Structure 1
Amino acid sequence: MTDGQARCLIVGGDQLLREGLQRVLSGVVDVVDMFDTLIHGMNGRSEPPAVDIVLLLEWHPGDLQFLECLRRLRSGSPKRRVVILGRDLDAWSIRVALKEGVDGYLVRDFGAPALLHSLHLVLLGEGVFPRRVVQQLLQGGVENGGLSRHGEMPVLSNRQTEILERIANGQSNKEIARGLGTSEATVKVHVRSVLRKIGVENRTQAAIWAHAHGVGQGELTPRPSAAAAPV
C-alpha cells in the first residue's frame, strides 16, 4: 500500500470476482476488506469498517434491510464514497441510488482502464455515471420540468452557460478552470450559482437538466474512458 492510497471495501459477487477486482484495483486503491453480502457483512458490527470507498457488486433497491445497512455503512464517514458496479440499468434502481447518495453507478460492460479512471474521479469528489443512466432518467422525465424552484426558466449568463455545458460534458472543476483560463475557486463559485439557478442539488442533476434542455451535446465522458461520465 502506497502512502495516501484510498482504502476500499468490495461487497457482493463471488469470491473469484472479488479477488479478481482486488488485483485490478491495486494501482488505485488498497482493498482492505471484502463482504460476500452487505447484510451479512454489516450484521454484528457496532461500527462500519474504516474505508474510503465501497464498491457494491450487489444492488437491491427494494430491500429495506439492504438500504438500512448501506446507510449504516455510510454513516461512519460523510466523505465515504459508494459506487455500484451492476449488471444492468433501470430508471427506478438509478433513482433509488441517487436518493441514497451513491457516488457512481457503473455497468459491467467496460474494461479495467475505464473502471480505474472512474474510481479515480469518484475519489476526487466527482459523481460517475454512464451516459445511459442520464438517458434512462430523461426517459422518465425531469421531475421539475426543467424549471427553477420559482417555476420560471432560469436565465444564465454566458459564462454560467459555458460552465453548465462543460459539466454536462463531464469535466471536473479543475478541467473547467484550465479550459477557461481561470481559477478553480472561481469555477466553484459559478457552479454553485448554476445549481441554484436551475434548481438542482448536485452535478449529476445539473448534467441531466442540461441534456434535457440541449445544453452540452458532446460526450459526457472525457476520453479515453467513454463508458462512464463524471457529472
Structure 2
Amino acid sequence: MTDLIRVLLVDDQELIRLGFRMVLDEEPDIVVVGEAVDGLDAVRETARLHPNVVLMDVRMPNLDGIGATERIVAARPDARILILTTFDLDEYAFAALQAGASGFLLKDAQRAELVGAVRAVHRGDAALAPRVTRRMIELLAEIPAKPDPAGLSELTEREREVFVAMGAGRTNAEVARALHVSESTVKTHVGRVLSKLGARDRVHAVILAHRHGLVPAETALPYDGD
C-alpha cells in the first residue's frame, strides 16, 4: 500500500481550512493530519506532526507564511511547502519561493488543481499557478544575470538541455517528446540536475535557470506538475 501524503493546513480562516480539508480528505492517498491558525502555530505543528506537505497561507497574524516558511525550511530542509495566494499577492508568493517554498497555488483553484499541486509538491516537482508563474518570470527577468551557478559546468550536454527545458516550464512529457526519450529517462536526468546544482526541488531549478539568464523570459511556459 502506498504511504499516505500527510498534509498540514495553515490558514487563519477556519472556513478556508474546512474547505480544503473536505476536498483533501476525500482523496485515497492524502490525509490531513492537522491544522494551524498562524505562522507560529505552523512552525510548532510541523515540528510535532512531521507532515509531508504544508499548505500555507501568506497573510496571517503573529507570523506570516513567508516567515513561517523560512523557519520550517531551516529546521527541516526536506519540508515541502505549498503557498496559498491570490493573484494580487503574487509578490508574497515570490518571496515565499525565495524562502524555500516548493510552489504556490491560487486560493480559488479548482479541486483537481489543489489535489494535483499537493501530489506534485510531495514528489518533489513544482506546483506553480500559471498566472502567477508568468509574473514570477517577469520579476526574475528584472534581476541581473549572475555567473554560472555552482555545478552547472558538471552537467552533461543532455542534462543541460533538460535543465533549460525545466527553466522554460516544460513538463517531463514535453521534454521527453522534444528529446525523443522516455519520461523515465527525463525523470532520471531531472534528478541528476537537481543534485548537481544543489537545488532542493524543481521549482528552485526554474528560479536558478532564469536568474542565470539561461532561459529567455518570452520562452517560458507554465509548469503543470507532470
With normalisation by structure 1, the TM-score equals 0.68
Change (3 A) 1:76 1:162: closer
What's the counterpart of residue 185 of structure 1?
Answer: 188
Change (3 A) 1:50 1:133: same
Q: How does 1:1-231 map to 2 (within 5 A)?
A: 3-26=2-25, 27=27, 28-40=29-41, 42=43, 47-56=47-56, 58-60=57-59, 65-66=63-64, 67-90=66-89, 92-142=91-141, 145-146=144-145, 148-149=147-148, 159=158, 162-164=161-163, 166-167=165-166, 168-172=168-172, 176=175, 180-181=180-181, 183=185, 184-189=187-192, 202-206=204-208, 208=210, 209=213, 212-215=216-219, 219-221=221-223, 229-230=224-225
Work out the CA distance in 2 between the residues paired with 1:170 and 1:48: 36
Instruction: Structure 2: give runs of 5+ residues left out of the alignment.
Output: none
Q: State the Cα RMSD in Å.
A: 3.9
> Conserved in 1, the CA contact under 8 Å of 2:162 and 2:189?
no
> Conserved in 1, the CA contact under 8 Å of 2:39 and 2:67?
no
Q: Percent sequence identity over matched residues?
A: 19
Post-superposition Cα deviations, 1:174-216, rounded to whole Å, max 9, x if no partner, equal: 87458632534345445667x69xxxx932215645653544x
What's the counterpart of residue 224 of structure 1?
Answer: none
Work out the CA distance in 2 between the residues paired with 1:69 and 1:210: 31
Q: Aligned letter for 2:13?
A: D
Structure with more of its chain in helix, by fraction: 2
Change (3 A) 1:164 1:87: same
Q: Helix, strand or coil for the counterpart of 2:22?
A: helix
State how many pairs are aligned.
208
Q: Helix, strand or coil for the counterpart of 1:202?
A: helix
Q: Aligned letter for 1:19?
A: L
> Conserved in 1, the CA contact under 8 Å of 2:7 and 2:33?
yes
- What is the CA-CA distance between 1:100 and the residue it aligns to? 0.9
Q: Aligned letter for 2:207?
A: Q
- What is the CA-CA distance between 1:131 and the residue it aligns to? 2.7
> Conserved in 1, the CA contact under 8 Å of 2:43 and 2:68?
yes
Work out the CA distance in 2 between the residues paired with 1:42 and 1:162: 38
- What is the CA-CA distance between 1:92 and the residue it aligns to? 3.2
- What is the CA-CA distance between 1:13 and the residue it aligns to? 4.2
Change (3 A) 1:137 1:145: same
Work out the CA distance in 2 between the residues paired with 1:148 and 1:8: 38
Change (3 A) 1:149 1:53: same
Work out the CA distance in 2 between the residues paired with 1:214 and 1:88: 20
Instruction: Structure 1: give runs of 5+ residues left out of the alignment.
Output: 222-228
Q: Aligned letter for 1:35?
A: A
Change (3 A) 1:92 1:161: same
Q: Helix, strand or coil for the counterpart of 2:125?
A: coil
